Structures are given as structure tokens and as C-alpha cells.
Amino acid sequence: MPIDPKIALGAELPSREFAWTPSDVQLYHLGLGAGTRWTDPAELRYLADREPQVLPTFATVAPTLGETEPPKVEFPGIDIDLAKVVHGFQEVQVHRPIPATGKATQTGRISEIWDKGSAAVVVQEQTVTSSDGEPLWTTRSSIFARGEGGFGGERGPSTKTELPDRAPDHEVTVATLPQQALLYRLCGDRNPLHSDPEFAKGAGFPAPILHGLCTYGIVCKTATDTVLGSDATRVTGFRARFAGVLFPGETIRTRMWREADQLIITATAVDRDDSPVLADVVLGFSS
């Protein structure tokens, strides 16, 4: 049985110690397309040699930097074929600005398992603490495993972020590069879905798709640059549901509504009649 909820639910995940440097931060930001405004001092803050500012979405790659093997979907009570898995949602909450250099420990657990009938949703929660014992960030993420439902569990909640009933306060388009996924995968996500055309076809896609977390980071950066003056230290949290795919080379349209201390955001693929890419997107920020 690929999923045994009696074993999996609440199971602790292996802890991980990891470290990062300014070069790692620069590579991550380049993977998101940073540097297109190569003479803009605000843009260059992402790429400074000694103390680059760090987007909170860096938390999604920091523990796995340097990995070169495809990830395995193996946890206590869970063993799923990677080709059946897509990212469901991702949330990052930062407890203080992420430093450009650091050492930390990650601990986590399987916090939720939902039976969607034709698929299963598995939710992880991870907490990261710096080497000095201070909390750095907390992440929550889910995977959507096709064909792995039907084990008799609850369907789980259906959450949706309502869009304000007005035109967006900001609308920005950002073009991705044809080689964007090949660059971003150097941050540690070697899933062949993003680089191997035959693997992608076997998973039901006409070509490799861009990492959802790359799109996630691009949209966070776009909102930070547009509304927060490119000041990543003001971002306190970022969450999104992966509503569709983006192919490398396509253009992302980001629409933003400002509501008190947060932004409500949508992201769509311009090239495919604004097909949804990210939904239920919320960026929290400090004043």
C-alpha cells in the first residue's frame, strides 16, 4: 500500500543540518531571473557578493542545495512514484530576515493526509532553527499524488482566497527563459520532470515544465519589487497553491491587490490565454 495513514500521519521526518553562503543565495536569485535590471541598485541587492538580501522563498531550497539526485517520495507509511506527484501548495513564514550566510537544523512531520478519491494529498510542516538556537522559518507544503487516493480517509478542507472586487492595484508581466528550469535545478531540485523530455511525456506533459517553486519565487520577487521597493526584509510570509503549469520561456502575468498588510495575488500564463499558474497567493509584509 503506497500510503498507510495510520503510520504516516504525525510521523516525524528525518532532521537535517545544512548551511548556505552568499553564492548560494546569488545562484537562487539568478535562477529566478534576478539581474535583468543589471544597473539598478535595488535589483543588485539580490546579487551583492558579501551580503545579498535574501528572498524568504529561499527557504524552499536552502535545505537541499547541492543535491544532484532526483527526489524520492518516501516517508514513514508513504512510498509514491515520483511521476505521479505534483506540488499542491507551499507556504513560508519567516521569523526574522534570512541571513546571507548561515547554518541551521530542519525538523518536520507529516501534519495532514487527505483522501481526494482519485488522488491523495500529503502535507508536511518543517521548522528551521539557526545554529544559535533562534527560529528562522517555518514551511508548510503539500504534494498531490495522482492515483493514490481511495484509502478511506477524509477529503480535507477546501480553502480559497477571495479576490477583491475591483481592478488589481498592480499588474506586471515577467518573461521566463527557455533555459530557466535547467538553471533553477542547480538549486537542488533535480526532478527530471523539469529537464527530461521523455520523462515529462511519461508524466503527461508535452515538454518539461518549469519548477512550481521557481514560479513561486519569481512571483514573490515580482511582488516585492513592485510594491515593497525591492526590500525582501519586509516580506513576512508567502503562500500559494499551484494551479497549473508554466513552460520555460513563457511569460507570467502577476496581478496584485493591496489589502492592509498583505497582497492578494494571481499568476497566469500569458502565452496560453492567461491559464492559471498560481492561485490563492498571499504575501504578508511589514510596514
pLDDT tens readout for residues 176-227: 999 999 999 999 999 899 999 999 999 899 999 999 999 999 999 999 999 9
Task: Find the mean pLDDT for residues 111-134.
Answer: 93
Q: Is the pLDDT of residue 257 over 60?
A: yes
Per-residue model confidence (pLDDT) at position 1: 56
Mean pLDDT of 53-64: 97
Position 110 scores a pLDDT of 94
pLDDT tens string 137-161: 999 999 898 888 888 888 888 778 9
Per residue in 81-113, pLDDT (tens digit) is: 877 888 899 999 999 999 999 999 999 999 999
pTM for this entry: 0.93
Query: In which band, very low, low, confident or very high, does the pLDDT at 118 lie, cut at 50, 70 and 90?
Result: confident
Of the chain, the end-to-end C-alpha distance in Å amounts to: 49
Query: Which is catalytic among the residues 29, 87, 194, 211?
Result: 194
Q: Which of 136, 172, 158, 125 is nearest to 270 (CA)?
A: 172
Strands (E), 23-118: 73-75, 78-80, 85-94, 102-115
- Give me the pLDDT at residue 287, please: 87
Task: Give catalytic status of residue 194 as yes or no.
Answer: yes
Please count the CA atoms within 13 angstroms of the CA of 214 that sit on its side-chain side: 34
CATH for 5-285 (3.30.70.1350, 3.10.129.10, 3.40.50.720, 3.30.360.10): 3.10.129.10
User: Of these residues, 189, 211, 225, 280, which one is catalytic?
Assistant: 189
